[in-house]
Amino acid sequence: MQLQVKTSPFDEEQVELLNRLVPSLTSEQKVWLSGYLTALTAGGTTEAVLQSGDEATLSTAPIKTREITILVGSHTGNGVTVANKAEAKLKQEDYTVSRFSLDEFKPKNLTKIEDLLLITSTHGDGDPPDNAIEFYDYLHSKRAPKLEGIRFSVLALGDSSYEFYCQTGKDFDKRLEELGGERLFPRVDCDLDFEEPSSEWFEGVLNKLNEEKALSSSETSGKQQTAGSPQTTEVYSRSNPFEAEIIENINLNGRGSNKETRHLELNLEGSNLTYEPGDSLGIVPQNDAVLADQLIEAAKWNPNETVTINKQGETSSLRDSLINTYEITSLSKNLIEKAAALTENEGLKKLLEPNEKEALQTYVYGRDLIDLTQDYGPWEISGAEFTAILRKIPPRLYSIASSLKANPDEVHLTIGALRYDSFGRSRTGVCSVQCAERSVPGDTLPVFVQSNTNFRLPQNTESPIIMIGAGTGIAPYRAFLEEREEIEAKGDAWLFFGEQHFVTDFLYQIEWQKWLKEGLLTRMDVAFSRDTSEKIYVQDRILEQSREFYEWLEAGARVYVCGDEKYMAKDVHEAILTIIQKEGGLNEEQAAEYIADLRSQKRYLRDVY
């Protein structure tokens, strides 16, 4: 479209020049010109000198931008993934960026920050992740400084099936404002399907920053594409998982066990995926087709109805979408609130009343969408419309049980099949039972690597390590020892492992015994809770070795805990505190400070779920 003389503020000659110039500009040149004019309008001293010929140059006086600090509190590594992308993009846009894990950042440096992007997950019942505890406590203490002049934006990661959804991010957002900070961009809360909302949050932040910045094209001018550029390699990630072929799928438990623990070996050849011991592998699972059919029948939906499954307009049948796309096996307050608007059932609306909070929590625990439909349906909209209130099936993360050095192009997993009865129906874990019952060698699973820098072996291979785990919590320690065997680590290694029965449930027993014999594993203490009249757990074994455990701590040992958070990890934590008090002659407060110091030194690391 060309400028018209009658409607523009330019004279006829200027209009002609603009109409000749603008259509010939590249998008990059338009961006530069926009920033250049903005700077002039703001009274800046920017000057442009344009010369003809091959030596054409664009010169601008640089416009100072505020330094951006990214702080990350992460448990599973999702926050780190978002932070990495944000840091890379900001640097591409010529911003000065510093990024820290919250346990690496000195809280007293808060007042030196100009623009703060805080990315944090929420752990357990609304608690900050382990690497954010010290910063969280400092910020909510009387020592926290006034933060006038600091701008901030918070990205909160969470799981809406929990009562205190994104609570840590909400707390940080509120506290930063209370201390005088200015909100650069509103907080965004992300569910397990965090890619899209986190991208929208970052774009909002970036747009706000770019509004204040006159962009320079000096760094990008003169760049030319060259013929014969190498082809880009496809990058596999959470949003683009790799279809990994199953090589082995073995039940690790013996006959008669109450449990079924699968050892999966997957082929990563051609994926360019790499991992380190301590990382997790994400699997994008499918719902059981039988369960999807039962839901369709209960809701009286048409299984062949067309459903739009994403913003790109891709479609699927309702049945396929309930198998491959949407979560149907769990309930949350958020889902109940949306479903209540789709029915006249007063019982469901009553469940959301403030005085029914406990009843709501009781109802959502152990029930799924079939229960909700049978109890409070039918819904007054079609199945395709109903899917709009459902969230996507979240990937399942499993601690990697192998070393890439020991198993090139492979990744191994240890997955406990979840089966239980609840409210008159048999239930199964979405991903664990897919792996146990519906995945055989030759099949593929869509996977991606989830880095976890908060659960790493010490760089000093002579440092002692203490590994504590129960059940499938043994997985990362198998990866640790495979790695230490490959790099010929010399440091002592002590393993505590717990399960139900020695005969049927001693996972990877032959491998541990081999490493013990070879000296790679210095010692191993086991607890099989159902083999004795009095149940013995890993925390009991730790307390039995109180003195030696403390001596290892004093010698610089790094302690790892992997497994169930609500019971095992909590009890282990209390056992370690007890040992520190007893053997160190410390009171409760001093023992807590000892633990906090271990955390700050990255010597107390947990991968709990």
> Does 329 appear as a known binding residue?
yes
Closest CA to 392 of 322, 485, 339, 299: 322
> Does 562 appear as a known binding residue?
no
Task: Assess whether the previous peptide bond of 378 is cis (omega < 30° from 0).
Answer: yes
> Does 539 appear as a known binding residue?
yes
> Does 439 appear as a known binding residue?
no
> Does 14 appear as a known binding residue?
no
Spatial contact of 76 and 106, defined as CB atoms under 8 Å apart: no
Residue with tokens 């250049």: 36
> Does 185 appear as a known binding residue?
no
> Does 121 appear as a known binding residue?
yes
> Does 161 appear as a known binding residue?
yes
> Does 538 appear as a known binding residue?
yes
Q: Give DSSP secondary structure letters for 500-555.
A: S-HHHH-TTHHHHHHHHHHTSS-EEEEEETTSSSS---HHHHHHHTHHHHHHHHHT
Reading the block at residue 107, the tokens are: 């809280």
> Does 459 appear as a known binding residue?
no
> Does 308 appear as a known binding residue?
no
> Does 67 appear as a known binding residue?
no
> Does 347 appear as a known binding residue?
no
- Residue 208 is which amino acid? K
Reading the block at residue 523, the tokens are: 């010692």
> Does 159 appear as a known binding residue?
yes
> Does 77 appear as a known binding residue?
yes
> Does 473 appear as a known binding residue?
no
> Does 452 appear as a known binding residue?
no
> Does 164 appear as a known binding residue?
yes
Residue with tokens 């200015």: 182
Instruction: Name all contacts of 336-342 with Cβ < 8 Å and 24+ positions apart.
Output: 336/360, 336/363, 336/364, 336/372, 338/389, 339/372, 339/376, 339/379, 339/389, 342/379, 342/380, 342/381, 342/386, 342/389
> Does 33 appear as a known binding residue?
no
Query: Residue 366: left if φ>0, alpha if ψ -120 to 50, beta else—which one?
Result: left
> Does 163 appear as a known binding residue?
yes
> Does 530 appear as a known binding residue?
yes
> Does 513 appear as a known binding residue?
no
- Alpha carbon of residue 18 to chain centroid: 49
Residue with tokens 């699972």: 285
> Does 553 appear as a known binding residue?
no
> Does 432 appear as a known binding residue?
yes
Closest CA to 133 of 609, 597, 550: 597
> Does 609 appear as a known binding residue?
yes
Give the C-alpha separation, 172 to 3, whole Å: 49
> Does 567 appear as a known binding residue?
no
> Does 564 appear as a known binding residue?
no
> Does 25 appear as a known binding residue?
no
Give the C-alpha separation, 580 to 594, whole Å: 8
> Does 420 appear as a known binding residue?
yes
> Does 430 appear as a known binding residue?
yes
Pairing verdict, β 97-101 and 425-428:
unpaired
> Does 399 appear as a known binding residue?
yes
> Does 65 appear as a known binding residue?
no
> Does 345 appear as a known binding residue?
no
> Does 43 appear as a known binding residue?
no
Give the C-alpha separation, 287 to 374, whole Å: 19
Spatial contact of 278 and 401, defined as CB atoms under 8 Å apart: no
Binding residues for FMN: 74-79, 121-124, 157-166
Binding residues for NADP(+): 529-530, 535-539, 571
Binding residues: 74-79, 121-124, 157-166, 329, 396-399, 414-416, 420, 429-432, 529-530, 535-539, 571, 609
Binding residues for FAD: 329, 396-399, 414-416, 420, 429-432, 609
